[in-house]
C-alpha cells in the first residue's frame, strides 16, 4: 500500500498584499457606519432636547401670558432694595444690578415683561387668592376692591440664552404695613451671581434657564389688540419710541405672538429649531382684577418735612400706587435746583448741606412707564439752635439765662451757650452733654468760663463731642464761651510754629496748636501749650503781620487756674501772642479775633462813667457783626462804676442775643465777668474799674 503525504500552505506574500487592503477597507467602512449612526443618535437627541426646551419655554410664556394683567414697556417694579440701603441692588436688573428691562431690542434683544398679580398660593391652584395692598384704600378685611400687589415676570436674552426671572417689590414680605398677606411668588436672580454673593440677598430662588443658543435677534415678540387680530401694534415694540409711548400702545394689547429660534452644535453638526406661540391674556381668573393692573400716570406724592440734629432737612413722602420710582430735587434759600436722585424707589431724602436758619425747598414727583406726576412741594427752615441734651444730672440754671444749645454759623464756627447747674454733687470731670458729628473738634480743646461765685472754671470739648466740666462749681456753670472750628473739612489749618522762650506743645489728646482764617476774615486759634517764660510781654509766637490786629488785645483763656494772653500789634514790641504773667503749667490758645484788614467796626455808646482807653495802644470799645450773624466785641474800658449790674454800654437792635449771656473776660490782670443782656445792655458783674477788656467776646445776634 502506497502512503501519500499532504502539505498545508499559508498565504503567500503576494496574496497578503492583495487581501490586507480589502480587510482594512472593510473595517473602515464598518467604523464609518458606526460613527455615523452614533452622530445621528447624538444629533437626534440634541435636536429633540432643543425642541423640547423651546416648546417648554413657549408653554411657560403662554401660561404666564394667560395669567398676566398686562404687558409692560419696562419693569414696573423697582430694582433696588430700599428696606436696607437704596444704593444696594437686589440683583434683579438685566445686568444683575439696577439696569431696567425694556420690551425693545436695546442691543440685548427684546424682553417680554408681564405685569402679574401676586397670589397666596400657586395661581393654578383652586385655593389661590389675590394679594391686595393694605389701606389702598380699604382695610384688609374688605380689601377686594383694593389695589393688588403686582410683580413682574420677565423673559429675556442674556449670554445667548433665554431666561425667565421673577421681579418682586422690595416690600413684598411686609405684611405689617404693605400687603394684606404673604405672596406665594418669590424673587429670582441669576444663579452664578447668587453664588458670588458673600451674604444673604434679596433673591430667594434662581432664574430659570430655558433655551441655549438663542441670539438676541432670534427672540421676537409681536403684540395684537385681540385674539383674532392680524394687525400688529407696531408702536408697542418700536425701539425709536420712548417708554411712555410704548406703554400707552401696550394698554391696547391683549394678545402676543412669540417666536424662538435656537441654533446649537452637537457631534460636530449644526442643529436649528424654531417655533412660536400665540397667546392672549385675560383668559383665566386674572380678568377679575385686570381693571386695576394697567399702568397709568401716577398721582403726585404727599410730602412732609422735618429737621434733624446737625441742621439737616429731612423730607418723606407716602407711597404712590403704581409708581416705580421718584425724583427728588431741592434748593436752599431759593437758589438753583439740585438733584437728590432720579427715578429711584426711595421715599426719603435728607439734605445735610444747609446752614442753620436756611430755608430748604423740595419737590418730588412719581414716575412709572406711563409717565411722571406733577411735582409735590414742601419747605422747611432749619432752626438756629439745636438743643444740647444734658447728662449726668445737669439741667438748665433758670429762664433768666441762656438755655443749653449749639449752632454752627455760616462762617463755619461752632457756638455753644447755656447756663447750667447740677442736681447733686458732680463726679470728677463729668460730661454735661455731647455734640453730634460735624460739630466736633479735631483735637481736645480747653476753654475758660465763669462758674459759681464768679470764679474761673474750665470746660473741655473732646473729639467725640463730649463737653466736660473739668473744674468749677455745680451750683452754676456757664457754657457761653465755647467757640471753635469743627472737624468738618471746610477749612485747612495752619500750624502755630515755632514757639519762643521755652514754650512748646502740650501734646497728647490736645494735638498740635493751629489757627484757621475763616471766610469772614476771622482768626480762630486752638491748642494747648506748656510753660515757658511767663513774664508779662514775653513773646510766645510770632503771628504773621497780615494777621495782626489793629490794636493790642487782651484775650481771656484758661491755664492751671485763670489765664490770659495778649496779641501785640506793634512791630516795635514782641509782636504776636505774648504771655501776661498770669497762670501756670500750661495755657490754652482757644480764642478768636479779627485782623487789622477787617473793617466794619462801630463804637459802643458807653455809660456810668466807663470810657475807652485813650492811649491809642489798646482797642477802643467797638462792636461788629459778620455775615454769619456772629457779633464780636473789643476794647479796653476804664474808670466806670464798678458795681454788679452796672450798664457799661448798650448794643443797638440787630446786635443782641435772644437770651442773657454770661461771659468771662480779664480785668486788671484777673478773671472778670461781663453779662450781655437780651436788650443789648453790657453789664459789669465782677472786675476792676482800673481796666476791663471786651476783647474776644463773641455771640450770635438774634434780635
More confident residue, 83 or 675: 675
Give the count of domains, the chain. 5
Residue 682 lies in a domain: yes
Long-range Cβ contacts of 423-429 (<8 Å, 24+ apart) = 423/393, 423/394, 423/395, 424/393, 424/474, 425/474, 426/392, 426/469, 426/474, 427/392, 429/460, 429/468, 429/469, 429/470
Q: From CA 459, how far away is CA 697, in angstroms rounded? A: 17
Its domain, for residue 327, covers 303-381
How would you label 306-334 residue by residue, b for 16+ Cβ within 10 Å and e otherwise?
ebeebbbbbbbbebbbbbbbbbbbbbbee
Q: Which H or E run includes 516? A: strand 514-517
CB of 297 closer than 8 Å to CB of 324: no
Q: What is the pLDDT of residues 171-188, one digit of tens each?
A: 888 888 889 999 999 999
C-alpha cell at 459: 470746660
State residue 576's pLDDT score: 94
Residue 669 lies in a domain: yes
Non-local (6+) Cβ contacts of 68 within 8 A are 114, 115, 116, 153, 281, 286
CATH code, domain with 612:
2.60.40.1830
State residue 196's pLDDT score: 85
CATH code, domain with 307:
2.60.40.10
pLDDT at 671 over 80: yes
Same structural domain for residues 100 and 205?
Answer: yes
Residue at a domain's end among 261, 292, 323? 292
Average model confidence (pLDDT) across the chain: 89
Same structural domain for residues 201 and 134?
Answer: yes
Residue 31 lies in a domain: no
C-alpha cell at 413: 464756627
Residue 7 lies in a domain: no
Same structural domain for residues 478 and 517?
Answer: no
419 vs 401, 599, 640, CA distance in Å? 6, 32, 27
Q: From CA 26, how far away is CA 19, in angstroms rounded? A: 11
71 vs 130, 250, 284, CA distance in Å? 19, 6, 16
Q: From CA 554, how far away is CA 540, in angstroms rounded? A: 14
Residue 643 lies in a domain: yes
Q: From CA 52, how far away is CA 318, in angstroms rounded? A: 47
Q: What is the pLDDT of residues 276-287, one digit of tens each?
A: 999 998 644 444
Q: What is the pLDDT of residues 626-635, one digit of tens each?
A: 999 999 999 9
Same structural domain for residues 200 and 115?
Answer: yes
State residue 171's pLDDT score: 85
Q: Which H or E run includes 42? A: helix 13-67
Least confident piece of the model among 32-46, 171-185, 292-306, 400-414: 32-46
Same structural domain for residues 100 and 201?
Answer: yes
Residue at a domain's end among 450, 484, 518? 484
Sheet with 312-317: list strands edge to edge. 303-308, 312-317, 348-351
Q: Based on the number of CB atoms within 10 Å of its own CB, is 208 exposed (0-12), middle (13-18) or buried (19 or more)?
A: middle
Mean pLDDT calculated for residue range 82-111:
79
Q: From CA 695, how far away is CA 641, in angstroms rounded? A: 20
Same structural domain for residues 134 and 227?
Answer: yes
Residue 457, beta-bridge partner list = 449
pLDDT at 235 over 60: yes
CATH code, domain with 565:
2.60.40
Whether a cis peptide bond, with omega within 30° of 0, leads into 674 is: no
Same structural domain for residues 344 and 444?
Answer: no
Q: Is the whole-model pTM more than 0.75?
A: no
**Dihedral Cα 180, 185, 191, 197, nearest 10 deg:** 10
Residue at a domain's end among 381, 412, 441? 381
Alpha helices in 502-574 (DSSP H): none
Give Cα 533 distance to the centre of its chain.
50
Same structural domain for residues 222 and 364?
Answer: no
Residue 298 lies in a domain: no
Mean pLDDT calculated for residue range 674-696:
97
Mean pLDDT calculated for residue range 536-554:
94
State residue 571's pLDDT score: 74
SS3 677: coil
448 — pLDDT class (breaks 50, 70, 90): very high
pLDDT at 35 over 60: no
Q: What is the pLDDT of residues 263-306, one digit of tens each?
A: 988 878 888 999 999 999 864 444 445 444 455 788 999 999 99
Amino acid at each position: 500500500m502506497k502512503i501519500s503525504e499532504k502539505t498545508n500552505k499559508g498565504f503567500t506574500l503576494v496574496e497578503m498584499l492583495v487581501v490586507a487592503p480589502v480587510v482594512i477597507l472593510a473595517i473602515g467602512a464598518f467604523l464609518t457606519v458606526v460613527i455615523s449612526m452614533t452622530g445621528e443618535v447624538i444629533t437626534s437627541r440634541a435636536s429633540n432636547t432643543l425642541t423640547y426646551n423651546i416648546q417648554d419655554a413657549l408653554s411657560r410664556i403662554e401660561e404666564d401670558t394667560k395669567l398676566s394683567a398686562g404687558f409692560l414697556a419696562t419693569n414696573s417694579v423697582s430694582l433696588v432694595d430700599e428696606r436696607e440701603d437704596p444704593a444696594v441692588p437686589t440683583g434683579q436688573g438685566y445686568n444683575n444690578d439696577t439696569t431696567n428691562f425694556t420690551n425693545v431690542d436695546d442691543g440685548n434683544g427684546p424682553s417680554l415683561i408681564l405685569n402679574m398679580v401676586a397670589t397666596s398660593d400657586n395661581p393654578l391652584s383652586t385655593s389661590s387668592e389675590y394679594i391686595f395692598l393694605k389701606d389702598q384704600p380699604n382695610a384688609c378685611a374688605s380689601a377686594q376692591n383694593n389695589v393688588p400687589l403686582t410683580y413682574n415676570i420677565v423673559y429675556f436674552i442674556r449670554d445667548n440664552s433665554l431666561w425667565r426671572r421673577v421681579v418682586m417689590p422690595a416690600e413684598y414680605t411686609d405684611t405689617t404695613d404693605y400687603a394684606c398677606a404673604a405672596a406665594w411668588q418669590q424673587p429670582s436672580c441669576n444663579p452664578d451671581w447668587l453664588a458670588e454673593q458673600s451674604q444673604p440677598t434679596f433673591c430667594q430662588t434662581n432664574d430659570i434657564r430655558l433655551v441655549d443658543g438663542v441670539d438676541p435677534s432670534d427672540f421676537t415678540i409681536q403684540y395684537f389688540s385681540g385674539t383674532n387680530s392680524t394687525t400688529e401694534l407696531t408702536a408697542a415694540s418700536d425701539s425709536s419710541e420712548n417708554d411712555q409711548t410704548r406703554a400707552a400702545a401696550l394698554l391696547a394689547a391683549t394678545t402676543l405672538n412669540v417666536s424662538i429660534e435656537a441654533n446649537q452644535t452637537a457631534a460636530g453638526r449644526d442643529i436649528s429649531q424654531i417655533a412660536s406661540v400665540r397667546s392672549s391674556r385675560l383668559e383665566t381668573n386674572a380678568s377679575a382684577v385686570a381693571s386695576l393692573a394697567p399702568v397709568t400716570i401716577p398721582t403726585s406724592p404727599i410730602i412732609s418735612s422735618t429737621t434733624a440734629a446737625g441742621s439737616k432737612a429731612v423730607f418723606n413722602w407716602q407711597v404712590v400706587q403704581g409708581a416705580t420710582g421718584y425724583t427728588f430735587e431741592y434748593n436752599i434759600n431759593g437758589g438753583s435746583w439740585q438733584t437728590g436722585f432720579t427715578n429711584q424707589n426711595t421715599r426719603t431724602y435728607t439734605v445735610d448741606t444747609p446752614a442753620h436758619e436756611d430755608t430748604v425747598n423740595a419737590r418730588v414727583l412719581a414716575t412709572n412707564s406711563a409717565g411722571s406726576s406733577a411735582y409735590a412741594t414742601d419747605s422747611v427752615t432749619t432752626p438756629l439752635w439745636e438743643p444740647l441734651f444734658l447728662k449726668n444730672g445737669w439741667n438748665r440754671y433758670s429762664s433768666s439765662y441762656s438755655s443749653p444749645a449749639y449752632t454752627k454759623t455760616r462762617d463755619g464756627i461752632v457756638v455753644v451757650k447755656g447756663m447750667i447747674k447740677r442736681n447733686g454733687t458732680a463726679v470728677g470731670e463729668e460730661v454735661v452733654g455731647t455734640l453730634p458729628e460735624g460739630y466736633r473738634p479735631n483735637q481736645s480743646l480747653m476753654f475758660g468760663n465763669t462758674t459759681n461765685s464768679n470764679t474761673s472754671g474750665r470746660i473741655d470739648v473732646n473729639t467725640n463731642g463730649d463737653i466736660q466740666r473739668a473744674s468749677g462749681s455745680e451750683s452754676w456753670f456757664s457754657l457761653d464761651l465755647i467757640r471753635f472750628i469743627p472737624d468738618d473739612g471746610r477749612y485747612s489749618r495752619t500750624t502755630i510754629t515755632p514757639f519762643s522762650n521755652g514754650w512748646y506743645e502740650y501734646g497728647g489728646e490736645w494735638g498740635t496748636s493751629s489757627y484757621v482764617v475763616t471766610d469772614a476774615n476771622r482768626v480762630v486759634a486752638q491748642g494747648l501749650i506748656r510753660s515757658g517764660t511767663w513774664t508779662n510781654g514775653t513773646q510766645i509766637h510770632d503771628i504773621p503781620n497780615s494777621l495782626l490786629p489793629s490794636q493790642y488785645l487782651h484775650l481771656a483763656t484758661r491755664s492751671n487756674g485763670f489765664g490770659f494772653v495778649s496779641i501785640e500789634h506793634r512791630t516795635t514790641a514782641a509782636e504776636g501772642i505774648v504771655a501776661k504773667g498770669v497762670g501756670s503749667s500750661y495755657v490754652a490758645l482757644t480764642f478768636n479775633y479779627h485782623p487789622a484788614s477787617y473793617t466794619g467796626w462801630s463804637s459802643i455808646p458807653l455809660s456810668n462813667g466807663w470810657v475807652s482807653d485813650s492811649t491809642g495802644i489798646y482797642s477802643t470799645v467797638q462792636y461788629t457783626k459778620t455775615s454769619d450773624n456772629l457779633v464780636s466785641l473789643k476794647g479796653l474800658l476804664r474808670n466806670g462804676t464798678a458795681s454788679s449790674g452796672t450798664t457799661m454800654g448798650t448794643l443797638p437792635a440787630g446786635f443782641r442775643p435772644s437770651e442773657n449771656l454770661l461771659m468771662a473776660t480779664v480785668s486788671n490782670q484777673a478773671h472778670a465777668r461781663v453779662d450781655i443782656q437780651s436788650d443789648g445792655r453790657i453789664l459789669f458783674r465782677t472786675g476792676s474799674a482800673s481796666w476791663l477788656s471786651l476783647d474776644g467776646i463773641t455771640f450770635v445776634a438774634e434780635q
